[in-house]
Amino acid sequence: MRTPILALVLCLTALPATAQRLPGTVVPERYTLWFAPDLDQETFRGRESIAVSLSAPATTITLHAAEITFGEVTIEDAGGSQPATVTLNEATETATLTVPRAIARGRALIRITYTGILNDKLRGFYLSKANGRKYAVSQMEATDARRAFPSFDEPAFKATFDITLMIDAADTAISNGRQVSDTPGPESGKRTIVFAPTPKMSSYLVALLVGDFVCRSGRSGATPIRVCSTPDKQGLTAFALSAAEQQVAFFNNYFGIPYPYEKLDIIGVPDFAAGAMENAGAVTFRERMLLVDEATASVAVRKSVASVISHELAHQWFGNLVTMKWWDDIWLNEGFATWAANKPLAVWKPEWKMDANAASETQAALGLDALRSTRAIHTQVETPAQINEVFDPIAYEKTGGVLGMIEAYVGPEPFRKGVASYLSKYSLGNAAGEDFWTEVTRVTEKPVNRIMKSFVEQPGAPMLSVQTTCVAGDTEVSLKQQRFVGAPGAPAAAPQTWTLPVCVKTATGPATCTIVTQAEQTIRAPGCGAAMVNADARGYYFTEYEPAAVAALATRTPPLTAVERISLLGDEWRMVRAGRHDIGVFLDLAAAFATDHTPEVLAAFAGRLGSVAGDIADTTERPAFQAWVQARLRPALDAIGLTDGLKDSDEVNSRRGRLLQLLSGDPAVQQRARELAEAYMARPSSLSPTLVSPVLQVAAAGGDAALYDRYVARMTASSAAPEEFYRYFNTLASFRDPALVKRTQQFALSPQARSQDAPQLFAQFLGSPATQDGTWALVKAEWPALTAKFGTFQGLPNIVGALGAFCSAEHAADIKAFFEAHPVPQAARALQQSLERIATCATVKTRQSPAFGKWLAAR
């Protein structure tokens, strides 16, 4: 599952579920499921039989069920069939079936009739609405299959699924298996669609979709592929189909294991909490993560859509074919899909520079690992709320970064063979983390097990403090490792060491790689000059250079690669925030990269310059600092021109858009953005698609009510291509007029804003110093409405996470007190991390302000 934010939609008005692992004495082997959704009444009927195996005689069987009304229940064994009574436990989301005569050891058959609701919480079997009609769709991960059918709803209980749907005659249905029959009836106005049995899989991978979906068909080798959507969006499916065809072919070859299912359906869903979900053979997506107007799409959207598709298709092997035993190893699913997703794209579209994408993802994870409140990759979880919280950058980006580091160390081909061997060995079964690293260690004959254990089983990330000396034409690199803690003045973390591959590259010699295992260790690398102690940015660690070494790396010949520049900027920013370096070291580094041609490098310092302006500079210093930013960056923009970009490459336009945002405080830049925005709204072909979003955003920052109204009108009219809708939707929070801010907030609370989208507007307002106080007051006042409208898959955790943008002890105390009175169990760790970020920001402001003042005065 690809999550734009935290995962698992759980309504806060429901009882919080407590720990309930099912005993392993009853194991499902085959589900036969029949569903009859009633879209008008927003309910469904269900019939199921579950073939199970008992390891011992029993008079009770417990399985999962939530929001299910049971009808007739029987259990049949060799001694015959007998009725069962049902005892529900809402707290544990379980149902216990009790029979008068003990069920014999061996095989038995559970038969259940029941009814359920098509809920509006984007979980289980739920209701989606678009174009004046209703759809029944599903999202089972992590613990919501139990809302669609009583089940052994844990990943280790893999079984086959025979699925049948009785639907309205004018609709169609999609599920995991290929369709094997479509017959009228048996009820009036209905048709019954039967799907082929699935291979063994976990309950969270079941997919059910009913509506007027239409599909575009293609093929990759022996695998038929369809990309499906609501009828009005069928013209936007061609790009996704091309991407999927290429990616299936790539993964078939890379893993050496054919795509595991008979067909592949990829479906855009109007209301969807996650970014996408890897249901076996029937992958579901938010529409904006799938549907592309190829005539007007920006390169950012093409890249994002292809990346999400690739992530979900990698899951067909990592997660579906081989599944983690329990959610504490969710990294085996999400981290592997994150790592693998860039691979086919790097072959298909080399101009997208996926290595820079991977470096940026690693930096995002390192930012979280700088907190004391981070977690280990392997974290014990029991309840649905705890499971929710481990769908985070640690499971995704950190694991992806660690896997990339190990791949670079052992070599791409040996690592590929190790991965393929692991998938083959545990095919159609379950595995734990140790199973993976044991197999890769065996195949590669490298200490992958020791590296993985040190990164998977302890929280945080190592910091390598570097000192270099030129000795007889070589560079002697002295390293000290310890856990990095990003809060200035914080007590040192308890001693931790990692087993980690480190590659050093000097200005004049090739990279030298070794395994660092000690708290202090020395590496000798050929050549002298500035030494990059994370060559090619493949290592998952922080690096602390001396300030003079940072300056030398910034101007080194030959220059650092783009990914190395991204890594160096990230490292130096965190050294500043930790109080290990003065802010001027980072700002001088950013100035050295101001003319960089790589958009991802500009992105690596863009937001951080905003943090300096908002969190460190006081009101008297801000104009001088903004003038310094203008002086450093305006020449780069002038060199390429603030034009419509129609004659330039996507890379040039991506750079132009980033510079436009960085210089948005310049009235001349704002005016030019307004002109380009007006021209675009009058004639969309007048502006490069890659420039549209930054132009609209910068124009909005100085925009008035007339421009706001035009944005809303264009957004409302943008019913087809999701990108066009979100171009305007995402800029509404950029308007700064208080009356317009209020209008956007009211819109976000209204039924007109989808619950999957509205939290983003609140998060944007909370992230801006100009609007965060008023928005936080509104959040507190409207808390009941927010909890009713937003799920905790994305909504409330997204808002809780955005609160980390505050920067004072007073705000931290207020936020802490509020959530003590209004707890959100599914965002407990997100709250802890936000409070830590606030405390760190307040301390950074106090500690860096004098250094910043001196630095600014010297400029």
Cα 420 → chain centroid = 25
Whether 405 and 482 share a structural domain: no
Regarding whether 83 and 33 lie in a shared domain, the answer is: yes
201 with 216, same domain: the answer is: yes
Distance CA 124, CA 141 (A): 8
Nearest alpha carbon to residue 543 among 581, 515, 517: 581
Q: Is residue 490 in a domain?
A: yes
Q: Are 525 and 589 within one domain?
A: no
Which 8-state DSSP code applies to residue 495? P
Q: At residue 549, what is the residue type?
A: A
Same domain, yes or no: 575 and 600: yes
Taking residue 654's Cβ as centre, other Cβ atoms within 10 Å add up to 25
Out of 456, 487, 522, pick the residue that ends a domain.
456
- Full DSSP string of 175-194: ESSPEEEEEE-SSTTEEEEE
What is the Cα–Cα distance from 33 to 81, expressed in whole angstroms?
Answer: 19
Phi, psi for residue 394 in degrees, rounded to 5: -70, -45
40-82: pLDDT as tens digits? 999 999 999 999 999 999 999 999 999 999 999 999 999 999 9
Q: How far apart are CA 516 and CA 497, in angstroms?
A: 9
Does residue 142 have a cis bond before it (omega within 30 degrees)? yes
State whether 576 and 593 are in the same domain.
yes
Coil/strand/helix, residue 647: coil
Catalytic machinery residues: 312
Task: Report, as ranges of residue numbers, the positions in the chain whose pLDDT lies below 70.
Answer: 2-19, 490-493, 718-720, 791-794
Helix axes 599-611, 650-662, angle to 10 degrees: 10
- C-alpha 589: how far from chain center: 30
H or E, element range at 584: helix 583-592
* Eight-state DSSP code of residue 391: S
Question: Does 707 map to a domain?
Answer: no
List, for residues 600-609, the tens digit of each pLDDT value. 999 999 889 9
Same domain, 398 and 497: no
Residues 494 and 624 occupy one common structural domain = no
| 416: exposed, middle or buried (Cβ count in 10 Å: 0-12, 13-18, 19+) | middle
Q: Which residue range(s) make up the domain with 629?
A: 565-640+713-857
Total of domains in the chain: 4
Angstrom CA distances, 27 to 59, 74, 98, 280, stand at 15, 17, 17, 21
Amino acid at 662: L
Q: Which position has the token pair 């929710």?
A: 388
Measure the CA angle with vertex 263, ends 120 and 172; round to 5°.
Answer: 45
Question: Within this chain, do residues 372 and 431 fall inside the same structural domain, yes or no?
Answer: yes
Q: Are residues 36 and 154 in the same domain?
A: yes
Q: 342 lies in a domain?
A: yes
In a domain, 676, yes or no: no
Q: Are residues 843 and 813 in the same domain?
A: yes
- Using the 3D structure, point to which of 456, 483, 515 is the last residue of a domain: 456
CATH code of the domain in which 87 resides: 2.60.40.1730
Longest dimension (CA), the chain: 90
Q: Has residue 605 been placed in a domain? A: yes
Cα 252-255-261 angle, rounded to 5 deg: 50
Look up the CATH number of the domain holding residue 833: 1.25.50.20
Residue 610: inside a domain, yes or no? yes
pLDDT of residue 508: 86
Query: Backbone phi, then psi, for 728, in 5-degree steps?
Result: -85, -40
Residue 601, token pair as written in the block: 């490098």
CATH code for the domain of 504? 2.60.40
pTM: predicted TM-score of the whole model, two decimal places: 0.94
pLDDT of the residue at 601:
93
Q: What pLDDT sits at residue 9?
A: 29
How far apart, in whole angstroms, are the C-alpha atoms of residue 709 and residue 744?
11
One-letter identity of residue 136: A
CA quadruple 589, 592, 595, 601: dihedral sign: negative
Alpha helices in 327-462 (DSSP H): 331-348, 354-369, 384-389, 399-410, 412-425, 433-444, 448-456
Element (H, E) at 302: helix 299-315
**For residue 638, which of 659, 621, 618 has the smallest C-alpha distance?**
659
Q: Which of the listed residues 403, 434, 456 is the one where a domain comes to its end?
A: 456
Residues 51 and 188 in one domain: yes
- Its sign, for the CA torsion 443, 444, 450, 451, is negative
Of 469, 202, 508, 238, nearest to 332 by C-alpha is: 202
* Helices 399-410 and 354-369: angle between axes, nearest 10 degrees: 120
Q: Name the DSSP letter for residue 614.
A: I
Average pLDDT, the chain: 94
Q: Give the other-Cβ count within 10 Å of 122's Cβ.
A: 26
751: three-class secondary structure by DSSP: coil
Instruction: Please state whether 647 falls in left (phi above 0), alpha (psi between -120 and 50) or beta.
Output: alpha
Give the pLDDT score at 390: 93
* Angstrom distance (rounded) from CA 299 to CA 301: 5
In sequence order, what E strands does 517-621 have?
A: 520-526, 542-544
CATH at residue 413: 1.10.390.10
Residue 560 lies in a domain: yes
Residue 241 to residue 221: CA distance in whole angstroms: 14
7 occurs within a structural domain? no
